């Protein structure tokens, strides 16, 4: 199957910690938790939930594209949401973004996320 490939995203801010935006082994792609920061690294934590949700999905899709994958190839998504009251809005935006693709999914309500964000998403996909 080969070596582990570490995947970066051109035009995006580098990770703030010791990790890659994604890794791949063969055709499997593991996307690290994506926060709703903008590609230039500025934060959206002061923005409404829907702005953050759209940005986090854009970030997820950018990492998938950099890995040679796409939303249709996602196998599993884990969503961390600060305040389960945000879940209906996220589910609606998620459904719009993924369209007919319906990967397996887990939702984890959490008390807080890094930088005060309200949502974080990680995924496993194929390419």
Domains of the chain, start order: 5-126 (3.30.1330.40)
Position 1 scores a pLDDT of 60
Position 80 scores a pLDDT of 98
Query: Which positions of the chain have pLDDT values less than 70?
Result: 1
User: Residue 78, CB half-sphere, CA atoms under 13 Å: how many?
Assistant: 12
Q: Rounded to whole angstroms, how far apart are CA atoms 99 and 82?
A: 24
Reported pTM: 0.96
Q: How far is CA 123 from CA 22, 48, 60, 63, 107, in A?
A: 9, 23, 8, 10, 12
Over the stretch 64-85, which tens digit does the pLDDT of each residue have? Answer: 999 999 999 999 999 999 989 9
């Amino acid at each position: 199957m080969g070596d582990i490939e570490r995947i970066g995203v051109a035009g995006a801010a580098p990770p703030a910690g010791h990790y890659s935006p994604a890794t791949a082994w063969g055709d499997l792609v593991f996307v690290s938790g994506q926060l709703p920061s903008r590609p230039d690294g500025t934060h959206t934590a002061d923005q409404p939930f829907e702005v953050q949700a759209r940005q986090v999905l854009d970030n997820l899709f950018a990492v998938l594209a950099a890995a040679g994958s796409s939303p249709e190839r996602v196998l599993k998504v884990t969503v961390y949401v600060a305040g389960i009251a945000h879940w209906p809005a996220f589910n609606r935006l998620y459904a719009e973004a993924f369209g007919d693709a319906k990967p397996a999914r887990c939702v984890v309500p959490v008390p807080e996320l890094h930088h005060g964000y309200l949502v974080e998403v990680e995924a496993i996909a194929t390419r």
